[in-house]
Structure formats: C-alpha cells, structure tokens
Amino acid sequence: MRRFLALLARNRLALLGLVVMGLVVLLALVTPWLPLKPPNVTNTSDKFLPPFSEGALLGTDHLGRDLLSRLLWGTRLSLAVGFAAAAIAATLGAAIGVVAGYYGGRVDNVVMRGVDMLMAFPYILLALAIVAALGPGLFNALIAVAAVNIPFFARNIRGVTVGIAHKEFVDAARLSGLSDARIIVSEVLPNVVPVIVIAMSTTVGWMILETAGLSFLGLGSQPPQADLGSMLGEARSAHITQPHTSVVPGVMILIIVMAINLLGDGVRDALDPRLRSGALSRPMAATQVARDHVPPEPRAEGVLTLTDLETQFHVGKRTFRAVNGVSLHVAPGECLGLIGESGSGKSVTALSVMGLVASPPGVITGGSAQYKGQELIGARYGKLRQLRGDRVSYIFQDPLATLHPLYKVGDQLIEAIRVHHPVGRRAARERALGLLRDVRIPNPESRIDAYPHEMSGGMRQRVGIAMALANDPDVIIADEPTTALDVTVQAQILSVLSDLRRERGLAIVFITHDFGVVAQLCDRAAVMYAGRIVEQGTTEQILNHPRHPYTALLMKCVPELGAGRRRLEAIPGLPPAVDRLPEGCAFADRCPKVQPDCRAGEIVLRQVGDHAARCLHPVERAREEAAQ
C-alpha cells in the first residue's frame, strides 16, 4: 500500500488529479457550512446576473438563483450519485463475478450468458430503458447507471477469480475443511480487490458523466433539486444569450471527470507491473548511437568487420554491458561461428551491426562496424535501410514470431524484393517462387499463398532463409536459425546454407550454442562470454585444441555420438550479471584453473598465430593431448 502510494505520487499528472479531486470533494463536503445563499430560492428580479456581480460571484440563472451556491450543491449531489453508483456496480458486479468464477461449470455458464446478453446492448440505451420503466428521478437514474455497469465488473472480476480459484492456496483451504463462503472471503476477495479498484477508477468518471447525461435529458434529478447535469439541461434554453449559466456547470463536470481520469490512469499504471518497468517503450527505427570517442580503425580485412563494438542497455540507473568491445570479421565465402551460452551477447552483437537492437533501452556506445569499408554505426537511417536486407540480411530464430502473422509468406517475400528492386509484382512473385525452390520447399506454387501459421516450423524457417536470400546479399547473419528444429530438418537447412555459401560466395555469421553445427558449417569460430570474445580461431583449433577453459568446459557439455560413457558436464555456477561485471576475467568464479592474478585487471586477447584466447592460464595443448 505504501509502495502503491509512492508510485502514485511519482506520477505527477496522477498527483495533480488527486489534488484537484481532493479539493472538489472537500468543497462538496463542507458546502452545507459555507456562507452560501440557499440554492433553490428564486428571485426573478435578479435573473441572469453575469458572473462577478455583487452578491453573486458566478452570477444567477433564469430564476435568479445564485449559481455558485447551486454549483456547489449540484457538485455535491453529482459526486454522491456517481460514487454511489460506482460502489453499487462494483459490489454487485464483483459478487456476481466471484460466484461465477469460483463455482464455475453450470453457474458460470448461466450467469455469464446473462452478462453477455446485457453487454449486447448499447450502454446508454439500457440505462434509458431502465429509467423508462422506473420513471424519471435521480434515484432511478442512479439505479440505471449502476445496473448498466454491473456486467463490466462481473466479467472482469470473473476472469481474475477463475485464475485464483485453481491456485494451490485455495485448494489447501478447501482441503482444510473451510466452507466456500469462508474461502471466498478470506482467500479470493483479497486477491480480486486490486482489480476492483482498477475497474472502479476507470469507470467512476463514466458513471458521473452518465448520471449527468440522464439529468441533462430531464430523466435524472427533478426541479428544484439540481445536480450538475440538470443545471446544464435547464440552462440550455437560454444557452445562446446567457452562456455563463451553462458554462459554469459544464466546466465543473469537465474538471471532475478529467481529475478522475488522470487519477485512474495513475492507479492503473501503479498497479500494472508491466508499465512500472517502462517495458512498454517502442523500439525506434534504428538503434541509438552514443559514442563518446572516435571509432577505431578496423584491424582486419573482411566484407564485414566489427572493431571494439560496445552495446549497452540502459534501464533506469543500471547499465548492462551486453557487448563489451567485440571485434570480428568475416570474408566473402567464409562462415564464422559465434558461440556462447544464452545471454553471452551473441545476438546483441549481431543485431548491433544493422542497428536492430531495440532502442530504448539499447544504445551503441562505441566501436565500429564496417561493410566493405562503409561505416554502419551512426550511419544515416536512409543508408542503413538501403543496406538492410539487400547487402546484409538476417535469419532469425523462431520464425513463427519473426514472420508477420497476417501476411501470406509469398507477399512477405515479394515485399523483401520490391523494397530494394523496382520490379513488378509478377516478376517479384516469380523470383519469390524461385527462392522457395532454392530453399527446397516442396510445392512452392501452393506454399507461396500460405500464411505462416499454416506451415510447419521447418518450412517457416526455410521461408526465413528465402527472405534473407531475396536480394542476393553479401553477408547473412543467422541467429540460431536451427535451434527450434529437429535434427533431420536442421541438417537439411544447414546443407541449404552451405550450398548457397559455395554457389554465391556468401559470407555467413552463424550464431549458435551448438558445436556440432559449428563443426559442420563454419571455417572459423569465436566464443563469447559475458559480452566479450574469449577465444577465436579456426574451427579445427577451437574444437580440437581449445585454449580458454570456458571453451573447453563448454565442449564437455556436448553429448557426442559414439563417444561412449563420457559424463555430460554442466559448467557449475552462472555467468555474471552484465551490469555488475567483476574486475579481471568474467569467468574466474566458475573456472577450475582460476589463479589470484585472474581477478586483477584487464586481460587481453592474446594472439598466438591465428588462434587467440583471453586467458592468463590457458589449457596447454600438450596436456590436453596427454589427457586424451
């Protein structure tokens, strides 16, 4: 509760709403003791006095009644009716919802059918029907407004209750012999209260508006008693000549409803954990770049060369160093494997190249990425967009989420082509068919008009590959494209990629945590840990003679066919959190060979021939061989 209030207070607009609402409620509460003229005493000789007249601060209405006094009394009435309606609707709606949700089955079915039926009515129409039956009057209007809001509460609360009714603690209470009534009161209700509060905070404004509306139509409060709505209704006849009589109550309704809405939004935000973390930010078209130093010159040749790349996530006051000075390069026709556990920064490295890291919270804070000598980090959006998908393209993991669910796969392929080449739809479709054939999709003529959800995982992954190939790119960055697939499909897809590399001289960066895939496809490999490259070399070197203990351990985790009864080992411990990286080697805490100097300051990537490792006490090649 304290935390909730603190969150609410941090939201300045909600606080404003709270203050305004507090003032209005306070005014309404003390109205009977204020030195006001009686609200209903007519004095036709003083009718239509303008605002700021003597003795009538806001002027008078068509019967000479003091508007200020009527306004405050009217506010009091409107608030009372609005809150009463909200309380009634919440109580009855919650009761219905809890009963339906808790008992389920038949009860639930019958009750919710009725609720759906009521919701089939346009909202205000139902209120009108109820007032028509009961007759005009403020009390009847209150009942009508409360009644039409009951279904809304019932439906919301039922949903939450269904979730709670099957939780362990409710089962436990049932087993301990508590009665249903006791369980509902002691176990269910406390959990649905936040939902009731949210629902009330979002509807009480509507209810005040609706009661004002009914009174405005002459169906609510009856003269001489007046709430804000009927003040507005009475003022309508003289509206054009004496606007102040209608503007005064109208503005009051506006202020009240606006304050309630601000407050309601604040309450909702404070109670909704997703909004609290700011997770609902939209990623921008390209990752934000904020480099505070001049990007370094590339130190290696390649069609794609990354040098000292740094990408961070800024969440609140915390900084996660997802990519911490990564240098990589890949040559035409070459395949580079990028290996590491989940969270090691492989994907973020890959996405940084074309500015596809979600931003906010992602920021590229340093380094360079060059495609054929053109700098990509910090490049204009237009240039980046031109290269994306045309020269450098991506294959993503999980194609069910990465393909647009509402477009046919053919149209998505055609779009990929037409974004970069001004060809007609027909020609693009032919090309798309060719691409589907290239990735060995059977029956491409019929598959081209299928939606992603109509295809199998393997087929969708092929579509993802076809899309990446659409414009004959120079570089493909494949982010675990085979992880979600079974072994046979995986083998097929790898051979497709392998063929294409040979035929087209494609450079591939292949991200994976599977050494088998690396052995099959890659010429060179780089191993990442906690945002840095810890070892880099030819596939042969990495697989057969790993120097970094991490690589060696990682390989022991891989079950090997025909290797007999080797123990499958997991690396003990967890990778460090990248917002609190330790000094020295990030792997030190999990390393079997750790020495005191491992934790003392920066460790460089030491190059021996074309094999590099970031380790002070690397696995000795001789010992490795002796052990085997």
Partner 1 sequence: MGSYILRRLVSAIPVLFGITVIVFAIMALIPGDPATAILGSYATPENVEKLNRDLGLDRPAVARYFIWLGNMLTGDFGTSFSLNRPVLDEILERFGATLILAGTSFVLCALFGVLAGVVSAANQYGWADKAITFAVLLGISIPSFFLGMLMILAFAVERRWFPVSGMYAIYGGGGLGDLLRHLVMPATALAVVATGVVARLSRSAMLEVLRQDFIRTARAKGVHERRVIWRHALRAAMVSIIPVLGIQAGFVLSGAVYIEIVFQWPGVGRMLVDAILTRDILLVQGGVVFVAACYVLFNIVVDVAQSLLDPRIKT
Count other C-beta atoms under 10 Å from residue 166's C-beta: 9
439 within 8 A of 399, measured Cβ to Cβ: no
With binding defined as CB under 8 A, does residue 358 bind partner 1? yes
In the chain, the N- to C-terminal Cα span, in Å, equals 62
Closest CA to 94 of 228, 199, 239, 226: 199
Residue 257 contacts partner 1 per CB under 8 A: yes
Q: Read out DSSP for 593-620?
A: T--GGGGSS----EEETTEEE--SSPPP
Query: CB 127: neighbour CB atoms within 10 A?
Result: 24
Q: Is 383 in the site for partner 1 (CB under 8 A)?
A: no
376 lies in the site for partner 1, by CB under 8 A: no
* 232 binds partner 1, rule: CB under 8 A: yes
Only segment of 131-139, 180-188, 299-307, 571-579 that touches partner 1 (CB under 8 A): 131-139
313 binds partner 1, rule: CB under 8 A: no
Determine which residue in the list 73, 216, 510, 587 makes contact with partner 1, applying CB under 8 A. 216
- Which is nearer to partner 1, 186 or 237 (by Cβ)? 237
Q: How far is the CB of 397 from partner 1 (least distance, A)?
A: 9
Locate 405 and state its tokens: 């669910």
Q: Which is nearer to partner 1, 36 or 118 (CB)?
A: 118
Q: Inter-axis angle of helices 244-271 and 2-10, to 10 degrees?
A: 130
262 binds partner 1 (CB under 8 A): yes
When asked if residue 123 is in the footprint of partner 1 (CB under 8 A), the reply is yes
112 CB neighbour count, 10 Å cutoff: 18
CA distances from 573 to 86, 513, 537 (A): 54, 18, 26
CB of 78 to partner 1, least distance (A): 11
**Candidate residues 6, 41, 401, 608; the one interacting with partner 1 per rule CB under 8 A:** 401
- Choose which of 386, 483, 520, 544 interacts with partner 1 (CB under 8 A): 386
Pick the closer one to partner 1 by CB: 99 or 477.
Answer: 477
Q: Would you give the DSSP letter of residue 571?
A: -
Q: What track of x and - describes contact with partner 1 for positions 191 through 210 (by CB under 8 A)? A: --------------x---x-
Nearest distance from C-beta of residue 32 to partner 1, angstroms: 26
CA 322/CA 578 separation, integer angstroms: 6
What is the per-residue binding string for partner 1 in 445-484, x denoting contact by CB under 8 A? ------x-x-------------x--x--------------
- 240 touches partner 1 by CB under 8 A: yes
Query: How buried is 426 (Cβ within 10 angstroms: 0-12 exposed, 13-18 middle, 19+ buried)?
Result: exposed
Task: Tell the residue number behind the tokens 């006051």, with chain if given.
Answer: 317
Q: Does 403 bind partner 1 (CB under 8 A)?
A: yes
Cα(127)–Cα(150) distance, integer angstroms? 12
Q: Which residues of 295-330 are buried (b: 16+ CB within 10 A; e: fewer)?
A: beebeeebbbbbbbbbbbbbeeeebbbbbbbbbbbb
What is the C-alpha to C-alpha distance for residues 467 and 384, in angstroms, rounded to an integer? 18
Q: Tell whether residue 514 is a contact of partner 1 (CB under 8 A).
A: no
Q: Which of 182, 175, 176, 177 is nearest to 102 (CA)?
A: 182
1, 120, 175, 626: which one binds partner 1 (CB under 8 A) = 120
CA 590 – CA 592 distance, rounded (Å): 7
| CA nearest neighbour of 261 among 201, 190, 216 | 201
Least Å distance, CB 133 to partner 1, is 4
**Least distance CB 130 / partner 1 (angstroms):** 6
Of the candidate spans 161-169, 382-390, 508-516, 517-525, the one that interacts with partner 1 by CB under 8 A turns out to be 382-390
Question: Of these, 416, 518, 522, 613, which contacts partner 1 (CB under 8 A)?
Answer: 416
Cα→Cα distances 564→553, 568, 625, Å:
18, 11, 18
Nearer to partner 1, 83 or 451 (CB): 451
Residues in the chain: 628
Q: Is 421 in the site for partner 1 (CB under 8 A)?
A: no
Nearer to partner 1, 165 or 493 (CB): 493
83 binding partner 1? (CB under 8 A): no
Site size with partner 1, rule: CB under 8 A: 79
Q: Interface with partner 1 includes 133 (CB under 8 A)?
A: yes
Q: Which stretch binds partner 1 (CB under 8 A): 179-187, 228-236, 293-301, 497-505?
A: 228-236
Q: How many Cβ atoms sit within 10 Å of the Cβ of residue 65? A: 25
Q: Which stretch binds partner 1 (CB under 8 A): 86-94, 170-178, 324-332, 403-411?
A: 403-411
| 220 belongs to the binding site for partner 1 (CB under 8 A) | no
- Closest approach, Cβ 606 to partner 1, in A, equals 35
Instruction: State how far the Cα of 35 lies from the Cα of 410, in Å rounded to an integer.
Output: 76
419 is a contact residue toward partner 1 (CB under 8 A): yes
The reply to whether 429 sits near partner 1 by the rule CB under 8 A is no
Among residues 187 and 479, whose Cβ is nearest to partner 1? 479
115 binds partner 1 (CB under 8 A): no
Two structure tokens written together for 572: 């003990």
Q: Which of residues 337-356 bind partner 1 (CB under 8 A)?
A: 351, 354, 356
